[in-house]
Amino acid sequence: MLIGKPTDIKGSEITPRDVYLRRREFLLGAAAVGLLPAYAGIAAAAPLQAVKSPFSTDEKLTTREDVTSYNNYYEFGTDKAAPAANAHTLTTKPWSVKVDGMAGKPADYALDDILKGVTLEERIYRMRCVEGWSMVIPWVGFPLADLLKRIEPQGSAKYVAFETLKRPAEMPGQRGILQPLPWPYVEGLRLDEAMHPLTILAVGLYGETLPNQNGAPLRLVVPWKYGFKSIKSIVRITLTDKQPPTSWSLQNSSEYGFLSNVNPEVDHPRWSQAMERRIGEGGLFAKKRPTLMFNGYGDQVASLYSGQDLKADF
């Protein structure tokens, strides 16, 4: 695998900090004079230094505007515009992640401690939502494997379970009688998937800290799986020997399986997964593009599933 060690990285590959700082000054200045909506997620965006990654695609980026305004984050409402409108209510500082289960070093880890000594990378990934749309997003993050190695999975651990914050006082989508999903939102990966170098924990996008609607302050990104596996605002990581429950399969197990690999040959029971609409490409009437097996990451990840029937294990 081509993974740049910090010592291999040329100075020219590091995004200049002053560029981000100037952008931050502009954002903060614009917020002060009322040019921007008062979303805390935007106003609080802080620049991040990141090195480029050989795992990035060179496809055209989805605009920052689309990436941050067309979201799924059901804790803030089911409408695509609801997260950007509502997620400013979420307090993301201080933030800690509880690590428990079959880990040699279980603890409540402050986010700042998780990030100490981590090299942040810009990872430009294609993302494919199960609903049939896709984006190309410049994430800023680090391999989940780096954190897992630090928390020392025990030999018997086979899966990693993740949990999002449950805080109805700050998450309007968790209030009310009719709920679209059971809370907290939960997800899981097999340990080999979690350790794969493509799997990252993201803390930013477009060179700045994550806006709340995109899962601040810490979210998972697994580019060869449907978007719902990429759980947002993580507060707990559990190592376990049993396949963990996942929100969408708890809600409808015939429609959503555990693996949820992007697979154009396995239709969703209610629609085909063969094609996708790239957000920003000419609206609803734009020509769709074919969806690729494992979202185009097959060379790197297909071997994880050798011998498995991916029509049965969807």
Q: Which residues bind ligand MTE (CB under 6 A)?
A: 71-75, 129, 164, 185, 214-215, 227-228, 230-233
Of 233 and 263, which has the nearer Cβ to ligand MTE?
233
CB 123 within 8 A of CB 141: yes
Whole-number Å distance between alpha carbons of 244 and 225: 16
Distances (CA, A) of 302 to 224, 225, 264: 10, 12, 14
> Least Å distance between CB 50 and ligand MTE?
18
CB 202 within 8 A of CB 221: yes
Taking CB atoms, the residue at the shortest distance from ligand MTE is 227
> Least Å distance between CB 313 and ligand MTE?
20
Cis omega before residue 54 (within 30°)? no
Of 53 and 71, which has the nearer Cβ to ligand MTE?
71
Of 102 and 126, which has the nearer Cβ to ligand MTE?
126
> Least Å distance between CB 282 and ligand MTE?
20
> Least Å distance between CB 174 and ligand MTE?
10
> Least Å distance between CB 7 and ligand MTE?
32
Of 164 and 249, which has the nearer Cβ to ligand MTE?
164
Of 86 and 164, which has the nearer Cβ to ligand MTE?
164
Q: DSSP 3-state assignment of 208? A: strand
CB 18 within 8 A of CB 26: no
Extract the runs of DSSP E, i.e. beta strands, from the chain.
51-52, 96-101, 107-110, 121-128, 133-143, 159-164, 186-190, 200-205, 208-209, 219-221, 234-240, 275-278, 289-290
